[in-house]
Amino acid sequence: MPAVSKTDLPLAKAEPISDGGEILSDLLHCFDTHEFMGPDGIHPRVLRELVEGLTKPLVTIYYQSWLTREVSVDWKLENVMPIYKKGCKEDPENYRPVSLTLVPGKIIDQIFLSASRWHVQDNQAIRPKQHRILKGRSCLTNLISFYDKEIHLLDDGKAVDVVYLDFSKAFDTIPHNVLLEKLPAYGLDRRSLHWVKKTG
C-alpha cells in the first residue's frame, strides 16, 4: 500500500453522502446500461431513465445509512457469474467470478470512492508517482512517465536496469483486516470506517 503522509486528513469534514446529490445525479446519468441486473431484477437503465425522481430519495437513504452506520442487507445480495478470461473454456480456473450486486449498492460505493479519491488527492495522501489508482492516470501514463525518465538517463550515458514484478491475483490477496487498519491513517473518520466495515 502507498505510504501515508503524516498530516491529519479528516474525511469527516467532507461528509461524502450529505453533498452527494450532484455526484449521484452524475453517476446515474453516466451509469453503464449494459451492466447486468442484480438479484433485484431491476435493470440499470431504469435508474438512469428515472434519475430526476430518484436522486433526492436515494441521497436521503444513503445519508441515513451513513449516519446510522447501518447498511441494507439487500445491498449485500449478489449473483455470482463466471466470466471467461483465457485458455481452455472447459477449465474452471480460466474463469473469473464476478459478483452482480444491486445497482443502488454499487452507486453508494461509487460515491464513497469518489469522495475518498478527492480527499486523498487534495491532501496529497498518496505519492504523486502512483498512477493506477488516481483519477486521470493509468498504467499507460505510468509507462510514459517511466519511458521519459529512461530516455533522459540513456541520453546522459547512464545505465538503466529495469525490474518488472507481476503479482498474480494481488488484489484478491489483500487481507481486509490490514486494509481496515490502514484506512484511519488516510484520514477516514470513525463513522465512515464503521460504515465501510458494515459493507464488507
**Confidence tier at 2 by pLDDT (50, 70, 90):** very low
Under a CB-based contact definition with an 8 Å cutoff, are residues 80 and 99 in contact? yes
43 occurs within a structural domain: yes
CA-derived radius of gyration, the chain: 20
Mean pLDDT of 7-35: 60
Closest to 151 measured CA to CA, from 160, 142, 162: 160
Range of the domain at 105: 11-127+163-199
Query: For the chain, how many structural domains are there in total?
Result: 1
Enter the DSSP assignment of 134: S
182 occurs within a structural domain: yes
89 vs 25, higher pLDDT: 89
- Residue 27 is predicted with a pLDDT of 77
Instruction: Provide the percentage of residues in the chain whose pLDDT is more than 70.
Output: 84
36 occurs within a structural domain: yes
150 occurs within a structural domain: no
104 occurs within a structural domain: yes
Mean pLDDT of 136-163: 89
Of 25-29, 41-45, 52-56, 98-102, the poorest mean pLDDT is in 25-29
- Residue 129 is predicted with a pLDDT of 77
Q: Is 169 left (phi over 0), alpha (psi -120 to 50) or beta?
A: left
Mean pLDDT of the chain: 78
Amino acid identity of residue 124, one-letter, is Q
- Residue 20 is predicted with a pLDDT of 57
> 72-91 burial string, b = 16+ CB within 10 Å, else e?
eeebeeeeeeeeeeeeeeee
68 occurs within a structural domain: yes
Under a CB-based contact definition with an 8 Å cutoff, are residues 123 and 113 in contact? no
Mean pLDDT of 58-87: 86
Measured in whole angstroms, how far is the alpha carbon of residue 152 from the centre of its chain? 34
What lies within 8 Å, CB to CB, of 102 at 6+ separation is 38, 39, 40, 42, 74, 75, 77
Under a CB-based contact definition with an 8 Å cutoff, are residues 129 and 148 in contact? no
5 occurs within a structural domain: no
CB neighbourhood size of 37 (10 A): 15
106 occurs within a structural domain: yes
Mean pLDDT of 108-115: 79
Cell 447501518 sits on residue: 70
Per-residue pLDDT at 5 exceeds 60: no
